[in-house]
Structure 1
Amino acid sequence: MTLPVLWQTGLLLAASNVFMTFAWYAHLKNLSDRPWWIAALVSWGIALFEYMLQVPANRIGASELSLAQLKIMQEVITLAIFVPFVVFYMQQPLKLDYLWAALCILGAVYFIFRS
């Protein structure tokens, strides 16, 4: 049984986004006492895994979705991954602004995916 393209794309993009979120932001917590170039090298190493998932996700998704739909899908996934990362991993407070941002992105989803 093969998953539908939308699910394959979404799952791969979600996994890739976990890696990219750590590559972009985890060094602020874990490597803040190291020189920036060490953080950059570690981030590049993590980002390699992100690209190994993101490139196939976009290729699979492009078979049925427009580029705009792929991009908005990525943004929705980014927010869905980023908020728990900020709250649980970076231990920052949950803000009501995340809800407002999600509602704005929901509007973008509507306009990009409507027929």
Structure 2
Amino acid sequence: MSLPASLTTILLLLASNVFMTFAWYGHLKFKAAPLALVILASWGIAFFEYLLQVPANRIGHSVYSAAQLKTIQEVITLTVFAGFSVLYLKESLGWNHLAGFALIACGAGLVFYRPG
């Protein structure tokens, strides 16, 4: 039994975003590490992000437009980042962060709106 392309896409994008978030922000807990080392480590992590993200977009384009794929990606990115920030970096999110993310999500909803 295979999952629908729409769900497969979202699950792959979710997994790829976990890798992406660690590649981009995980090194912030290791500020004493040399910059060249964290760049190489980030590239290594990003490789796995691409192994998931590219198939996600390829599969997803059968059911979503490119603009919709990008919008899904951004909403997932904010969701994963919010969790990462609180759970891994131990940084709190204020009401202004949450309100800003909510406004971005509202804007994302417009991309999927079909008038008529």
Give the TM-score normalised by structure 2: 0.93
Q: 2:26: which partner in 1?
A: 26
Deviation of 1:53 after TM superposition, in Å, equals: 0.2
Q: 1:3: which partner in 2?
A: 3
**Aligned residue type for 2:25:** Y
Deviation of 1:35 after TM superposition, in Å, equals: 1.5
1:83–1:98 CA contact under 8 A, matched in 2? no
Provide the secondary structure at the position in 1 that maps to 2:85: helix
Residue-by-residue CA offset, 1:70-115 (whole Å, 9 max, x unaligned)? 0110011001100010001000112112321222122222211112
Residue-by-residue CA offset, 1:38-57 (whole Å, 9 max, x unaligned)? 11000000000000000000
Q: 1:100: which partner in 2?
A: 99
Q: Which has the larger displacement, 103-112 or 73-82? A: 103-112
Equivalences for residues 1-115 of structure 1 within 5 A: 1-30=1-30, 32-115=31-114
d(CA) in 2 for partners of 1:69 and 1:108? 12
Percentage of identical aligned residues? 53
Give the TM-score normalised by structure 1: 0.94
**Aligned residue type for 1:113:** F
The alignment covers a number of residue pairs equal to 114
Deviation of 1:12 after TM superposition, in Å, equals: 0.2
Provide the secondary structure at the position in 1 that maps to 2:64: coil
Provide the secondary structure at the position in 2 that maps to 1:93: coil
**Superposition misfits of 4+ residues, deviation over 4 angstroms:** none
Structure 1 unaligned runs (5+)?
Answer: none
Structure 2 unaligned runs (5+)?
Answer: none
Residue-by-residue CA offset, 1:28-69 (whole Å, 9 max, x unaligned)? 103x11221111000000000000000000000011111110
Deviation of 1:17 after TM superposition, in Å, equals: 0.2
Task: Let me know the Cα RMSD of the aligned residues.
Answer: 1.0
